[in-house]
């Protein structure tokens, strides 16, 4: 059994990791989260009373608070998920992304290094720092619309050796954080691992992202916005599959290695939207088709056209592969939002933030 410190554990992916750790393993968890707009403790209610779970409301840019957390909880593994992650927000205001994703990662690395260096040798040899990143650091790949018919069946995928060409402030900030982690490993011998994942979807996803936005807008009778022609391709990964992969890497991965994690599900955005509409037509029918709500909007600046992950390394070396197909995962996701309208109401109305402001004051270091 390990003590695992998870940063960003109240976020979409982080909360899935923590639920998996508590429900399916014997490890204990320290959840370190600032609780920004996208962090929500209600996603962890099912495990919040478990004796193996602890929560610390801490900003990863606060070195003093991080030092206290490391000293108090004595973790064996750090899983660093805390990040600003919405591309559109990064275009409108990149400063927060630079602060959290770069400065925050630097601060966490320094506190992890100080903690690691004072560990006794028998504990130091088992310590790990796992940095969770994105496939967006690689830029984009050739799109089938832009290649000859002969090349359509042989399109390249992102591998662990693909060069970095980030396109947005968000992806640039994540690329910088990846470089920091590798530099701390080489210069200071901090034992690190890096993973880069494709687009996640599933329960508890904040409604600003494509899939939950489409589900909720469709149910509310609102327009379903699609950028450009909707032909941007993403590789979709069910969040619970990703959580399993991350724990496998954190506990079994080879130090110094990078592992790409993908769902083997390349889909055009427009097809994703139409799939959701067709599921809703079936399970929540109305007088008109949900596809009638699709609205095309101007594309965003610097929009990457195609992402696709080669996840053969993690399958070959660690035995992980996704359990959900896109068809099974998206149906589960749509049904989850239909069954959890109370959670949606809390998020959209601001009730959760009001509760947080009233009942949860930040612990001072």
* DSSP secondary structure of 250-317: HHHSPTT-EEEE--S-EEEHHHHHHHHHHHHHHHS--SS-GGGGEEEEPPPTT---B--B--HHHHHH
The pLDDT tens digits of the residues spanning 32-44 come to: 999 987 788 989 9
Q: Which residue of the set 56, 135, 235, 266 is catalytic? A: 135
**Predicted pLDDT at 345:** 85
Distance of CA 285 to the CA centre of its chain: 32
Residues 6+ apart with CB under 8 A from 234: 198, 199, 266, 267, 269, 272, 306, 307
**Predicted pLDDT at 343:** 87
Strand-pair partners of 199: 236
Token pair recorded at residue 291? 């596809």
CB count, 10 Å around CB of 282?
10
Token pair recorded at residue 216? 């909720």
The pTM of this model reads 0.93
Alpha-carbon gap, residue 16 to 247, rounded angstroms: 11
CB count, 10 Å around CB of 70?
21
Positive or negative torsion for Cα 111, 115, 118, 123: negative
The pLDDT tens digits of the residues spanning 92-129 come to: 999 999 999 999 999 999 999 999 999 999 999 999 99
Residue 135 designated active-site: yes
Judge whether residue 242 has pLDDT over 90.
Answer: yes
Coil, helix or strand at residue 55:
strand
CB count, 10 Å around CB of 86?
16
CATH no. of 3-201+238-262+308-324+350-359: 3.40.50.720
Alpha-carbon gap, residue 160 to 328, rounded angstroms: 28
Give me the mean pLDDT over the 12-25 stretch.
98
The region that residue 11 occupies, defined by phi over 0 for left and psi between -120 and 50 for alpha, beta otherwise, is: beta
Judge whether residue 254 has pLDDT over 90.
Answer: yes
Strand-pair partners of 260: 196
Residue 31 near residue 9, CB atoms below 8 Å: yes
Token pair recorded at residue 193? 């691992």
Q: Which residue of the set 170, 259, 307, 352 is catalytic? A: 170
Coil, helix or strand at residue 77:
strand
Residue 352 designated active-site: no
Query: pLDDT category, 208, cuts 50, 70, 90?
Result: confident
Q: Which residue of the set 76, 84, 136, 140 is catalytic? A: 136
Which of the two residues, 88 and 105, has the higher pLDDT score? 105
The pLDDT tens digits of the residues spanning 304-360 come to: 999 999 999 999 999 999 999 999 999 999 999 999 998 888 877 766 666 556 655
Residue 227 designated active-site: no
Residue 166 near residue 134, CB atoms below 8 Å: no
Strand-pair partners of 261: 197
Alpha-carbon gap, residue 238 to 158, rounded angstroms: 18
DSSP assignment letter at 129: E
CA proximity to 299, closest of 197, 171, 168, 175 = 168
The label of the residue with tokens 């310590």 reads 127
Judge whether residue 361 has pLDDT over 50.
Answer: no
Residue 18 near residue 29, CB atoms below 8 Å: yes
Alpha-carbon gap, residue 350 to 304, rounded angstroms: 32
Query: pLDDT category, 89, cuts 50, 70, 90?
Result: confident
């Amino acid at each position: 059994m390990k003590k695992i410190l998870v940063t960003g554990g109240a976020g979409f992916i982080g909360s899935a990791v923590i639920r998996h750790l508590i429900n399916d393993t014997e490890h204990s968890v320290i959840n370190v989260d600032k609780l920004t707009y996208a962090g929500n403790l209600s996603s962890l209610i099912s495990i919040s009373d478990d004796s193996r779970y602890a929560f610390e409301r801490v900003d990863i840019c606060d070195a003093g608070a991080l030092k206290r957390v490391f000293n108090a909880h004595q973790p064996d593994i750090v899983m660093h998920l805390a990040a600003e992650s919405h591309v559109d927000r990064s275009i409108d205001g990149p400063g927060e992304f630079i602060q959290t994703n770069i400065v925050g990662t630097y601060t966490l690395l320094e506190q992890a290094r100080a903690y690691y260096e004072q560990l006794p040798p028998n504990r130091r040899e088992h310590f790990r720092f796992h940095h969770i990143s994105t496939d967006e650091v690689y830029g984009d790949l050739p799109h089938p619309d832009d290649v000859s018919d002969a090349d359509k069946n042989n399109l390249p995928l992102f591998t662990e050796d693909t060069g970095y060409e980030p396109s947005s402030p968000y992806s640039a900030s994540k690329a910088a954080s990846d470089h920091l982690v590798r530099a701390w490993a080489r210069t200071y011998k901090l034992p690190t691992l890096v993973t880069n994942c494709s687009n996640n979807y599933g329960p508890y996803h904040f409604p600003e992202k494509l899939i939950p936005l489409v589900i909720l807008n469709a149910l509310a009778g609102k327009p379903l916005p699609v950028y450009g022609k909707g032909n941007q391709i993403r590789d979709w990964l069910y969040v619970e599959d990703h959580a399993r992969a991350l724990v496998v890497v954190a506990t079994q991965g080879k130090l110094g290695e990078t592992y790409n994690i993908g769902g083997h599900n390349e889909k055009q955005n427009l097809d994703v939207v139409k799939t959701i509409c067709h599921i809703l037509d079936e399970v929540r029918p109305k007088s008109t088709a949900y596809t009638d709500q699709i609205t095309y909007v101007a594309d965003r600046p610097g929009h990457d056209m195609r992402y696709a992950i080669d996840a053969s390394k993690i399958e070959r070396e660690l035995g992980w592969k996704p359990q959900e197909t896109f068809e099974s995962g998206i149906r589960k996701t749509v049904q989850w939002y239909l069954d959890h309208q109370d959670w949606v109401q809390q998020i959209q109305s601001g009730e959760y933030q009001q509760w947080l402001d009233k009942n949860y004051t930040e612990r001072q270091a």
